[in-house]
Structure 1
Amino acid sequence: MSSTPVAPNVSQLTKLQIETVKRWHSEPIENTYSGFEAQVCQQHEHNFRLWHEEDTARSPSATDSEIANVKRAIDRLNQARNDMIEKLDDAITEMLCDAGIALAQSKPINTETPGSAIDRLSIMSLRLFHYGEQLEREDADAEHKRKVAERIALCEQQHGDLSNSLQELLDDIFAGRKQHKTYRQMKMYNDASLNPAIYKSK
């Protein structure tokens, strides 16, 4: 017997992202969630680690060796992040199947999958947290803080717009009004058999 089709709650997912960004800056990274939320948290963790590696890569004091190591870490994290986007979309497919919702090919399809939108919301939560840090800088002047406040307001608007759009998309998918599928990203640069810079060096 199929279960009642209930779409994931985007408000809960964004709350998870916002709260873990704050917590992970003061406590060890830990995933205490279950089910779909645990997968969202795992994908979010890759973005969290990626954000800080990107900061390190741009440090004027970083040596060539340090930048090379950070670049390799960024590649690994970015691959893991993209793999998790696909897993999020696969998990939604499983939810639909469990709920007995047919994946009708004739329904309209969005240009962006739910997994990709969840990834964007993850990055926005990181951006909002770090812009918030800028407002608290004691060495920043009033003009800097004014610009930061304007950007925070814009980010919050974009975050709200995307959250609402994602919830509408998920509701449409679970109601059978929109088609859902996982789009394989098929990255080539980390594949030793596809990247000529790798296979030609052997």
Structure 2
Amino acid sequence: MFTELCNKIFDQSIADYHLHNSVNQPILNPYEKAAIEHLLYLKNWIDTVQWHLEDIIRDPLIDPVKALEIKRWIDRSNQERTDVVEYIDSYFLEQFRTVSPLANASINTESPAWAIDRLSILALKIYHMREEATRADASAEHREACQRKLDILLDQRNDLGAAITLLLEDIGAGKKYMKVYKQMKMYNDPSLNPVLYAKS
């Protein structure tokens, strides 16, 4: 199943990141650029770096200049994440280009790639909740509470994986159809953000 491939690559990306555990380390994507695996690894790497940036920026003693630098980094990361999601949807549009939707075909609330985006974030939640559930310097109560949360996250990943699999099967059978809307983010566009175009 495609979701099993996703989970495998997301776990690989997270493990690779934590070999050095630094937001400044370069990505070493092991997959060929033309392969969907390359996009999945890139997608999760962006999410993983951003996860740790979000931790860093919440330090109450962080230097305000450093915080602004990280906030802008997170903004760039969000744009990159959106771009990669759209590339993944382009892959699916190509996969299903010969499928003719049935007369009663319906559209899903989100595209396959945006559902896979949630699967990537779930992989990160699972990794870090597992860390907390096994943290040697934490109390037994903390570990037990985190284990209960981990069990829910694992169940959620199974459910989301099953839903994505069904969505892909339905698109392939013509029961659902894909319609992808580009994320028309306005705040990054100098011609659409009034703060930016007022200065030009």
TM-score, shorter chain, exceeding 0.5: yes
Aligned to 2:194: 196
Contact 1:89–1:181 at 8 Å: present in 2 too?
no
Higher relative contact order (CA 8 A, sep 6+): 1
For the 8 Å contact 1:14–1:122, the answer to whether it is kept is yes
Provide the rounded CA distance (Å) in 1 between the counterparts of 2:101 and 2:91. Answer: 14
TM-score (norm 2): 0.90
The yes-or-no answer on 1:170 pairing with 2:163 is no
Give the conservation status (yes or no) of the 8 Å contact 2:102–2:175.
Answer: no
- Measure how far apart 1:40 and its partner are: 1.5
Change (3 A) 1:106 1:80: farther
Deviations 1:139-193 (A, max 9, x none): 2111111111111011111111000000010111112221012121111111111
Match of 1:126 among 109, 124, 142: 124
Q: What's the offset of the Cα at 1:137? A: 2.3
Contact persistence 1:47–1:122 (CA under 8 A): yes
Tell me if structure 2 keeps the 8 A contact 1:106–1:179: no
1:105·1:179 contact (CA, 8 Å) conserved in 2?
A: no
Share of identical aligned residues, percent?
36
Per-residue CA shift, 1:86-126, capped at 9, x if unaligned? 111111111222xx223668511110110001100000101
Matched, 1:116 2:114: yes
Structure 1 residues 105, 53: CA separation in 2 closer, same or farther (over 3 Å shift)? farther
Gaps of 5+ in 1: 1-7
| Partner AA of 2:6 in structure 1 | L
Number of matched residues?
193
**Letter of the structure 1 residue corresponding to residue 15 of structure 2:** K
1:43 aligns with 2:43: yes
- Distance of 2:171 and 2:194 partners within structure 1: 40
Alpha-carbon distance, 1:201 to partner: 2.9
> Residue 40 of structure 1 aligns to which amino acid in structure 2?
L
1:59 match: secondary structure: coil
Query: Are 1:157 and 2:155 matched, yes or no?
Result: yes
> Residue type of the partner of 2:44?
H
Query: Which residue of structure 2 aligns with residue 9 of structure 1?
Result: 2
> Is 1:43–1:84's contact at 8 Å kept on the other side of the alignment?
yes
8 Å Cα contact 2:3-2:164 kept in structure 1: yes
Q: Which moved more, 1:176-185 or 1:28-37?
A: 28-37
Shift of 1:198: 1.6
Query: What SS does structure 2 have at the residue aligned with 1:168?
Result: helix
User: Against the structure 1 CA distance between its residues 159 and 59, is the aligned structure 2 distance closer, same or farther, given a 3 Å change threshold?
Assistant: same
Runs of 4+ in 1 over 6 A off after TM superposition: none
Shift of 1:74: 0.2
Cα RMSD (Å): 1.7
